[in-house]
Structure 1
């Protein structure tokens, strides 16, 4: 009986054992196939761009890019890559970077067949919604720009310049009354962003957030956003993360309009304001209001589109302009020669500290544009420290392209090394790394119009160019043209720690903090 049972057990076990053997073999075969597919795919990617040099690991993995992005060094790393490997270099399996301003303008001109790459998905501040910055579809992008152009130009916004003046006066009053009069140091990095946040919200929908009035990082928006930016920008390296964050499983990780702090709280405020404009029976004030949001709606933006665009304005517009203000101010107040020339020019044009009235802005944008040295300082500030220094990649069109004797296969992503562009000796000379406003004055004095056009066209790449030129460029320049005249005519500023003036990190855009200054009224 025992023998029979054992025999039956043995006979019944053979098919089971055979099944396990076949399943195991199939699993091993699948793993081998997957490995071979991965090797072949990687080899193909390597071979299609093998003629373009770059860091050793870059042709095989995006980890080089991811490490550089999350480490806050991408803008420096791509600059160094171009310095080492040439004006077109490889930084990923399908990614290139260039510091050639002519190639960048070639990619972005209005008739170019290049298109935005997946990098722009990282500009979706709500993973489920596009905005004018993240939209890759050219038809949709052009329609959005057309609907928004009048609002950004100021043609349909009442008192655009006085609104900026109003917020600039709030900044001046804050500095003078709470800090300078009390001989207290202040973090200019935060104050500059308080100004840009209040100004853009006031322009956008008719009321400032109140950062300057409250003198604090309201809703912890700035601090929380700075902490989240490296993760946000990782989506530009791995766009699949955008889809994952949009899924029901992970969307809880995304800021929500129900949040009490951070971007979620700002989103909630924006949604409420936009919803009021779309009410069935808005009151007369809402009908007649003339701000950017009203212009957007009048030209056909939907409620969802309006929400996305206002959030994008706040995120992209305030940070970049604040960076330009901080960086220019740092270079000016730490250079006595340049600061002396600015004061001399302001005195010649009666923009002195004692010129009445002191309780309002006396410099119009038009008058500021007639200050040649101040204009040179503003341009040089944007050049030496571009607010968006990498990558804004574009995709090579079907059929490929050839530039400077280098073949660029179709579908390849080509990014911009902004720091390299703005320090390219071909454009700026051997002293390209020096903050030297005189370079702009000298080229005018020589009457070299071609060189001046080349310099200005290259500088404009700080705002992109062609079909993707930043809509907020004119607003940013208006703020820059006014803030330096008004602050520098009123106050002297001293850096509290010249050996460590600020904390500056990069994650797609720059964030700066602990830029401690002490101010004194000018005699």
Structure 2
């Protein structure tokens, strides 16, 4: 065969592949051509990839929806919505499923799904039924008491090492809060705290390893390489392993060791989440996988929520003083135990209107989980109503969630939606309040996709915010740069939240 013949065949092959590529891109573009979006998003993933790599895709999604409407295009075949009605519809209607392209990238282990990454609706529903009793607290009577122990450990740590007097003793609040949430979820989930608070140290570099793992997974998703970690044969050498000395592997090793230790002890009578999972049929790899996901997701999401709330309290003196006044008055009236006599209970925290308003507002302006979490549209497509107009979503497309766009919506929250103003939750306008509550609850998911750890997170947040502000005054050491933050797969890596802490004497009136 001559050189000219080989050359001709090569050119033909290249032209054929190019034509196939153009046909595919044109077909995908035509399917969503009626939806507007940033330049090139109809034919290229790069605008979306760049936003993911920058660690601020949540802000980009909000900008896209603000400019191009409540349903807009962010990549070929991918839509984003800031409409609470659309997102509730997508999560309620049968036929929609989690998108493999996103959720497969959130798998921690090689070709093993957990309750978060599972994209098969039937398998996901079954796993939720097995795990829900453990998360709800119904089968863990010591849930609140265990959280109280961790709150007390954090207060003791701050009081013993970080209270400033003649000289400022800087404290990285971001680290202490994450020590707290990781110790909580390991103790209520696995029956044994990792001991971060008692040692005031990132034990075995678990937190550092987790952040490294999230960063690598985020980069792989942005560049389109995440599928390699799940590919046959090759994936085994790429995906995290409990034999690794860094990344997710390090945390996997610690978690699996605790799970196997408990599973081997048939006489262990502790009643915690792990015991509940075992009672409801989780064993071996299933048990390890779900326990690992619980530790990673349960710690990072709740710590982001607490740090976001505290950030906005500390940078709003009016809110700070008003909240401390409510705290002091609740103690004075005997609605909450005095300091030294016990911590606030979860039930008591729910009865403090301004505390609850501050928590809701902090979660609203700084959602603790903010990524696309996309759903595939049913094969036959779906028609829904958006702002009074009928809109058809074609089958084969996927649609995701714009957290910042939704939870800073002027239509739902008023013209000052970008501002931190807890008083909006104390409005006498019942219709507006109902719409705000309905929308804000979506940050915990909706319907069959609602966050299983919502109850545990709410207990942690209410207790810790109350007790920190009851016992201490906190101020940022560098108020012009209060923290560093990056979005990795929707979870926030927050660091350098340096504060000055002083003891406080509650106001008597």
Aligned to 2:97: 115
- After TM superposition, the structure 1 = structure 2 runs for residues 46-85 of structure 1, keeping only pairs within 5 Å, are 46-85=29-68
Of 23, 38, 43 in structure 2, the residue corresponding to residue 40 of structure 1 is 23
Of 275, 286, 292 in structure 1, the residue corresponding to residue 260 of structure 2 is 275
- After TM superposition, the structure 1 = structure 2 runs for residues 140-179 of structure 1, keeping only pairs within 5 Å, are 140-179=123-162
Aligned to 1:197: 182
Q: 1:65-113 deviations in whole A, cap 9, x for unaligned?
A: 111101112111111111111111111110011111110011112x432
Deviation at 1:312, TM superposition (A): 0.6
* Cα distance in structure 2, aligned partners of 1:236 and 1:133: 17
Deviation at 1:231, TM superposition (A): 2.7
Q: Residues 337 and 344 of structure 2 are in contact (CA less than 8 Å); yes or no, is this contact kept in structure 1?
A: no
* Cα distance in structure 2, aligned partners of 1:122 and 1:90: 21
Aligned to 1:522: 504
* Cα distance in structure 1, aligned partners of 2:229 and 2:44: 21
Aligned to 1:207: 192
C-alpha change, 1:375 and 1:135, in structure 2 (3 Å) is same
* Cα distance in structure 1, aligned partners of 2:479 and 2:338: 33
* Cα distance in structure 1, aligned partners of 2:495 and 2:364: 21
Q: Residues 36 and 72 of structure 2 are in contact (CA less than 8 Å); yes or no, is this contact kept in structure 1?
A: yes
Q: Secondary structure at the match of 2:380?
A: coil
The alignment status of 1:233 with 2:218, answered yes or no, reads yes
* Cα distance in structure 2, aligned partners of 1:90 and 1:469: 25
C-alpha change, 1:351 and 1:250, in structure 2 (3 Å) is farther
* Cα distance in structure 1, aligned partners of 2:480 and 2:228: 44
* TM-score of the aligned structures, taking structure 1 as reference length: 0.91
Q: Residues 502 and 513 of structure 1 are in contact (CA less than 8 Å); yes or no, is this contact kept in structure 2?
A: yes
Of 424, 429, 441 in structure 1, the residue corresponding to residue 414 of structure 2 is 429
Aligned to 1:368: 349
Q: Secondary structure at the match of 2:278?
A: helix
Q: 1:282-330 deviations in whole A, cap 9, x for unaligned?
A: 352x2x2211011001100121111111111111111111111111101
* Cα distance in structure 2, aligned partners of 1:247 and 1:187: 43
Q: 1:383-435 deviations in whole A, cap 9, x for unaligned?
A: 00001122011111132123323321012110111000001111001000010
Q: Residues 127 and 243 of structure 1 are in contact (CA less than 8 Å); yes or no, is this contact kept in structure 2?
A: no
* Cα distance in structure 1, aligned partners of 2:457 and 2:75: 33
Deviation at 1:437, TM superposition (A): 0.5
Q: Residues 54 and 89 of structure 1 are in contact (CA less than 8 Å); yes or no, is this contact kept in structure 2?
A: yes
Q: Unaligned regions of 5+ residues in structure 1, if any?
A: 1-17
Aligned to 1:492: 473
Aligned to 1:127: 110
The alignment status of 1:259 with 2:244, answered yes or no, reads yes
Deviation at 1:359, TM superposition (A): 4.3
Aligned to 2:292: 311
Deviation at 1:268, TM superposition (A): 1.0
* Cα distance in structure 2, aligned partners of 1:228 and 1:135: 19
* Cα distance in structure 2, aligned partners of 1:361 and 1:227: 38
* Cα distance in structure 2, aligned partners of 1:318 and 1:456: 24
Aligned to 1:93: 76
* Cα distance in structure 1, aligned partners of 2:247 and 2:21: 41
* Cα distance in structure 1, aligned partners of 2:94 and 2:382: 11
Q: Secondary structure at the match of 1:113?
A: coil
**Which of 196-205 and 211-220 deviates more?**
211-220
* Cα distance in structure 2, aligned partners of 1:369 and 1:49: 45
**Which of 233-242 and 333-342 deviates more?**
233-242
**Which of 466-475 and 23-32 deviates more?**
23-32
The alignment status of 1:475 with 2:456, answered yes or no, reads yes
The alignment status of 1:409 with 2:394, answered yes or no, reads yes
* TM-score of the aligned structures, taking structure 2 as reference length: 0.93
Q: Residues 35 and 71 of structure 2 are in contact (CA less than 8 Å); yes or no, is this contact kept in structure 1?
A: yes
Of 463, 466, 470 in structure 1, the residue corresponding to residue 444 of structure 2 is 463
* Cα distance in structure 2, aligned partners of 1:235 and 1:397: 27
Aligned length: 496
Q: Secondary structure at the match of 1:56?
A: coil
Q: Residues 229 and 238 of structure 2 are in contact (CA less than 8 Å); yes or no, is this contact kept in structure 1?
A: no
Of 320, 328, 335 in structure 1, the residue corresponding to residue 301 of structure 2 is 320
Q: Secondary structure at the match of 2:432?
A: helix
C-alpha change, 1:112 and 1:236, in structure 2 (3 Å) is farther
* Structure whose alpha-carbon radius of gyration is higher: 1
* Cα distance in structure 2, aligned partners of 1:66 and 1:169: 43
C-alpha change, 1:205 and 1:461, in structure 2 (3 Å) is same
Of 275, 278, 282 in structure 2, the residue corresponding to residue 294 of structure 1 is 275
Could you say what the CA RMSD is over the residues aligned between the two structures, in angstroms? 2.0
Of 31, 37, 41 in structure 1, the residue corresponding to residue 14 of structure 2 is 31
Of 153, 170, 195 in structure 2, the residue corresponding to residue 185 of structure 1 is 170
* Cα distance in structure 1, aligned partners of 2:231 and 2:347: 46
Aligned to 2:372: 391
Q: Secondary structure at the match of 2:17?
A: helix
* Cα distance in structure 2, aligned partners of 1:163 and 1:505: 31
Q: Residues 120 and 236 of structure 1 are in contact (CA less than 8 Å); yes or no, is this contact kept in structure 2?
A: no
Q: Secondary structure at the match of 1:460?
A: helix
* Cα distance in structure 1, aligned partners of 2:481 and 2:246: 30
Q: Unaligned regions of 5+ residues in structure 2, if any?
A: none
Q: Residues 228 and 235 of structure 2 are in contact (CA less than 8 Å); yes or no, is this contact kept in structure 1?
A: no
Q: Secondary structure at the match of 2:290?
A: helix
* Cα distance in structure 2, aligned partners of 1:161 and 1:64: 45
Aligned to 1:218: 203
Aligned to 1:505: 486
Q: Residues 504 and 513 of structure 1 are in contact (CA less than 8 Å); yes or no, is this contact kept in structure 2?
A: yes
* Cα distance in structure 2, aligned partners of 1:231 and 1:60: 26
